[in-house]
Chain A
C-alpha cells in the first residue's frame, strides 16, 4: 500500500467511523426528548426510565463521536496539508459556526445528563432538545463544508491562485442544501431503524416487554417517516449531481456513453475496458427522467470526461446500488408499518413484523456508508472538484501506512468495546430501568 492510498484509507476510515456516532448523536436526543415529554406529561415512570436508559447510550456515543471528530479536525491537516492550506480560509466558515454549535451541544448535554432532579423539569427538558437541535445544526454545517468540495464556490481560481475569497458564498454553495437535507433525513432513518431493531429484538426475547415496546414505537416512527422521505430527497440530490458533477452521476449509473433517453442501469458488473455493464437490468429513458425530469433528455456519460479525470466506476456504481437498494427496503418496511398503524392494527403485535425490523437493524447505516462512498469516491480524482487533485493535497511525510494501521487498530478495538458496552446496557435494562414487574 503506498502512502497516498494509505492516507485516503485513513481518511475514509476515520470519517466512516465518525459518521455513525454523529448520526446517533444528532438523532437520539430527539427520541429522548419525546420519551422525556411523555414522562413529564403522563407521569408514567417507564418513559422516565426509557429516557435515562437512552441517555446512557447517548453519553457513550457522544464521547466517542466527540473524540473521533477531534481527530478529524487534525487529520485534515495531517493528511491533506496541501488542501487545507488553500481550502481552510475558504470553506472554513461552516467549521467556525460548527464550533459554536458543538459547544452549545456539549454544554446542553452537561445540563441534561447531570441535571435530573436538579433543575426545573421543563428547563431540563429544553436542554435535551437543545442538544438535538445543535447536533443537527452542526451536522448540517459540516456537510455544507463537504458540499463545497463537490461544488466549489466563493472564490476565483486564476493561474493557481485563489482570489476574491468570500467565505459566506462558499458556505452556501450549490450543493449544500441537497446534501444537508439528504444527510439529515438519512441520520433519522438510519438511527431510527437501528434503535427500533434492537428494541424489537428484545421484545421478541420476551424481556421487559412494556419498556421495549414503548421505546420501539418512538424509534420506529421517526425511522419510518424519514425512510419514506429519503428517496424524495435522494431524487433532489441526483438531479443536483447531474448538474454539477456529470462525471459522478455517470459513474454512479455506470453510464459510459452520452446519449438521449438514457436508460437506468440497475445492478450489473461495470466493465471499464469495453465501456459497458454486463448482467444489468435496464429501464429505458428512466435515467434521463431521474437526472433531468424528462425521458428524452441527454445524459452526459463518462466519455465526456478525459480518462485521467474519471472517478472509479465500479466502487461508485456498487455503492450507489447498495444505498438505493437499502433505501427501497426501508421504504417498503415503513409502508407496511404505516398500514399496520392505520388499517391493520393486528399486524403490529405480530412476530414477523418485529423480525422484519430486527433484520433491518443495520441497513440504514449501511446505506449511510454507501452514500458517502458515492459522494467521496465519485468526486475522485478531485479533492476540490475541478480545482485541486487529491494526489496534490497529500502530506509529504512518508510512512502514512503505519499511521493507517495504528488508526485501524484503534478504531476496530473501539468499535468492539462500544458494541460490548451497548450489549451490557441492554442486558441490564431489567435491573436498572424497568420496575414494572
Chain B
C-alpha cells in the first residue's frame, strides 16, 4: 500500500506541475504579452482554462494531504525550515486565485479590472517561482535542523543560487506548458502563430534557466550532474526528452497541436522523473547528510493502509469525472471553432 501512496504522491506532483503549471503559465504569458494583443490573449486563455481551473489546483491540496497524513516528519520539517518561502507562495496563491475570479466575475467592468490583472500576472510569476525554490531546497542539502542562528535555520535553507535558479526554471516551464496548451485552443492562424512564437520563446528561456541551474548547482556543491547522468534511468529520460524536443520543433512547423501538447507534457514528466528518481525514496536532504525518506519517515502502517484506500476509492470517483470534464469542454471548444 505504501507504493500506492507514493505513486499517488508522485502523480499528484506531476499533475500539479502540468495542469497547475499551465495555469500559472497563462499568467506568465500575459506578463510577456504586448499591450495591443493583451485582451485577445486573455480571452483565448480564459476559454481554455476556465472550466478546469479549480480542479487544476486540487493537486496541490492532494499533495499536501498525502504528505501530512502519510509522511508527517517530511511535512513538518519542510514547514518549519521553509516557512518563509511557503508563506510567500501562499500569499501568491491567495492573490492569484482571487484576482482570477474577481476579474471574471466582477459585474461591473471598469478600472478595477486593471488592478485584478496586475495582481493576477505578478502572482502567477511569484507562486511558481517559490514552488520551484521550495522543491529545490528540499533536495539541496541546505536544510539544517541543528542550526543555531535565524539566518541559517530559516533563510539560507532556501535562499541560495541553486534554489533560486530552479525557481526561475519552474517559471519558464510553466510558461512553456501554457503556450503549447493554448496553441490548440486558438481560433485563427494569426493567434496560433503568436502562441507558437511564445512557446519557442519560453522553450529557449527554459533552456537557459536549465543551464543556470547546472551552473548554480556546481557552485553550491550540489552533484546535480551526477544525479541526472549518473544512472541509466536519468540518461534514458533525458535522452527521450531531448528526442521529443527535436520532434517537437519539427512538428511545430506542421501545426499538429494535439501531439505538441503530449510532447510538452512528456518532456516535463521526464524532467521530474530524472530529478526524483535518483533521490527516491529520500525527498528531503539535510545539511548533515541525513535524509528524510518516504520509506523510513512514514506514518504508521494502519495510516498508510487507510490513506491508500482513501486515495484509491477517491480516484474511482474523481478520474472519470475529471476526464469527462476536460473531454467535454475540449470537444465543445472545437465544435465552436468549426461553426
Question: Does A11 interact with chain B (Cβ within 8 Å)?
Answer: no
On whether the beta carbons of B54 and A93 are closer than 8 Å, the reply is no
On whether the beta carbons of B64 and A74 are closer than 8 Å, the reply is yes
Question: Does B162 interact with chain A (Cβ within 8 Å)?
Answer: no
Contacts A70-B57, A114-B329, A167-B303; is A406 near B91 (CB within 8 Å)?
Answer: yes
CB neighbours (8 Å) of A59 from chain B are: 101, 104-105
Contact of B321 among A69, A98, A104, A410 (CB under 8 A): A104
| Stretch in B69-77, B190-198, B234-242, B267-275 with 4+ CB within 8 Å of A | B69-77
Contacts A406-B87, A428-B108; is A74 near B79 (CB within 8 Å)?
Answer: yes
Question: Does B51 interact with chain A (Cβ within 8 Å)?
Answer: yes
Measured CB to CB, the nearest residue on chain B to A119 is B328
Contact of A73 among B64, B98, B299, B307 (CB under 8 A): B64
On whether the beta carbons of B68 and A88 are closer than 8 Å, the reply is yes
| A168–B302 alpha-carbon span in the complex (Å) | 9
| Chain A proximity mask over B130-157: 1 for CB below 8 Å, otherwise 0 | 0000000000000000000010011000
Measured CB to CB, the nearest residue on chain B to A155 is B300
On whether the beta carbons of A110 and B107 are closer than 8 Å, the reply is no
Contact of B310 among A96, A109, A410 (CB under 8 A): A96
On whether the beta carbons of B90 and A74 are closer than 8 Å, the reply is yes
How far in angstroms is the closest Cβ of chain A from B334? 13
How far in angstroms is the closest Cβ of chain B from A302? 34
Question: Does A100 interact with chain B (Cβ within 8 Å)?
Answer: yes
CB under 8 Å from chain B, chain A span 387-403: 395-399, 403
Contacts A60-B101, A96-B307, A395-B79; is A428 near B107 (CB within 8 Å)?
Answer: yes
Contacts A56-B105, A96-B65, A99-B62; is A89 near B300 (CB within 8 Å)?
Answer: yes
Question: Does A372 interact with chain B (Cβ within 8 Å)?
Answer: no
| Stretch in B163-171, B205-213, B312-320 with 4+ CB within 8 Å of A | B312-320
| Chain B proximity mask over A87-113: 1 for CB below 8 Å, otherwise 0 | 011101101111110111011111101
Contact of B306 among A104, A168, A425 (CB under 8 A): A168
Question: How many residue pairs between the two chains, A and B, have CB atoms under 8 Å in the bound complex?
Answer: 202
Question: Does B86 interact with chain A (Cβ within 8 Å)?
Answer: yes
On whether the beta carbons of A90 and B303 are closer than 8 Å, the reply is yes
Q: Which of A96, A106, A118, A167 has most B Cβ within 10 Å?
A: A96
On whether the beta carbons of A81 and B107 are closer than 8 Å, the reply is no
Question: Interface size (B, Cβ < 8 Å)?
Answer: 63
Q: Which of A68, A107, A399 has most B Cβ within 10 Å?
A: A107
Contact of B87 among A78, A86, A96, A109 (CB under 8 A): A78
Question: Does B53 interact with chain A (Cβ within 8 Å)?
Answer: yes
| A60–B99 alpha-carbon span in the complex (Å) | 10
How far in angstroms is the closest Cβ of chain A from B264? 23
Question: Does B204 interact with chain A (Cβ within 8 Å)?
Answer: no
| A414–B65 alpha-carbon span in the complex (Å) | 26
Question: Does A300 interact with chain B (Cβ within 8 Å)?
Answer: no
Measured CB to CB, the nearest residue on chain A to B302 is A165
Question: Does A166 interact with chain B (Cβ within 8 Å)?
Answer: yes
Contacts A100-B313, A397-B154; is A92 near B65 (CB within 8 Å)?
Answer: yes
Question: Does A329 interact with chain B (Cβ within 8 Å)?
Answer: no
CB neighbours (8 Å) of A67 from chain B are: 93-94, 97-98
CB neighbours (8 Å) of B94 from chain A are: 67-68, 71, 410, 414
Question: Does A281 interact with chain B (Cβ within 8 Å)?
Answer: no
Measured CB to CB, the nearest residue on chain A to B304 is A89
| Chain A proximity mask over B104-122: 1 for CB below 8 Å, otherwise 0 | 1111100000000000000
Question: Does A133 interact with chain B (Cβ within 8 Å)?
Answer: no
On whether the beta carbons of B69 and A88 are closer than 8 Å, the reply is yes
Question: Does A341 interact with chain B (Cβ within 8 Å)?
Answer: no
On whether the beta carbons of A70 and B60 are closer than 8 Å, the reply is yes
Question: Does B332 interact with chain A (Cβ within 8 Å)?
Answer: yes
Question: Does B31 interact with chain A (Cβ within 8 Å)?
Answer: no
| A102–B321 alpha-carbon span in the complex (Å) | 13
Question: Does A432 interact with chain B (Cβ within 8 Å)?
Answer: yes
CB under 8 Å from chain B, chain A span 353-388: none
On whether the beta carbons of A106 and B90 are closer than 8 Å, the reply is no
CB neighbours (8 Å) of A324 from chain B are: none
On whether the beta carbons of A93 and B61 are closer than 8 Å, the reply is no
On whether the beta carbons of B318 and A103 are closer than 8 Å, the reply is yes
How far in angstroms is the closest Cβ of chain A from B269? 21
On whether the beta carbons of B311 and A81 are closer than 8 Å, the reply is no
CB neighbours (8 Å) of A88 from chain B are: 68-69, 72, 75-76, 299
Contact of A102 among B61, B76, B107, B300 (CB under 8 A): B61
Question: Does B100 interact with chain A (Cβ within 8 Å)?
Answer: yes
CB neighbours (8 Å) of B154 from chain A are: 397
Measured CB to CB, the nearest residue on chain B to A76 is B68
On whether the beta carbons of A73 and B61 are closer than 8 Å, the reply is yes
Q: Which of B57, B100, B101 has most A Cβ within 10 Å?
A: B101
Sample of 10 more A-B contacts, CB < 8 Å, known A107-B318, A397-B83: A77-B75, A77-B80, A88-B72, A89-B69, A92-B307, A98-B65, A107-B322, A397-B154, A417-B102, A425-B105
Which residue numbers of B lie inside 8 Å of A, CB to CB? 50-55, 57-58, 60-62, 64-66, 68-70, 72-73, 75-76, 78-80, 83, 86-87, 90-91, 93-95, 97-98, 100-102, 104-108, 150, 153-154, 299-300, 302-303, 306-307, 310-311, 313-314, 317-318, 321-322, 325, 328-329, 332
Q: List 30 A-B contacts (CB under 8 A).
A: A62-B54, A64-B101, A67-B93, A67-B97, A70-B60, A70-B97, A71-B90, A77-B79, A77-B80, A84-B79, A85-B73, A86-B72, A88-B69, A88-B75, A90-B303, A92-B69, A93-B307, A95-B68, A96-B66, A96-B69, A99-B65, A100-B310, A100-B314, A102-B58, A103-B55, A107-B54, A110-B51, A110-B54, A397-B83, A410-B95
Report the 5 A-B pairs with minimum CB-CB distance, sorted nearest first.
A92-B69, A77-B79, A89-B299, A100-B314, A63-B101
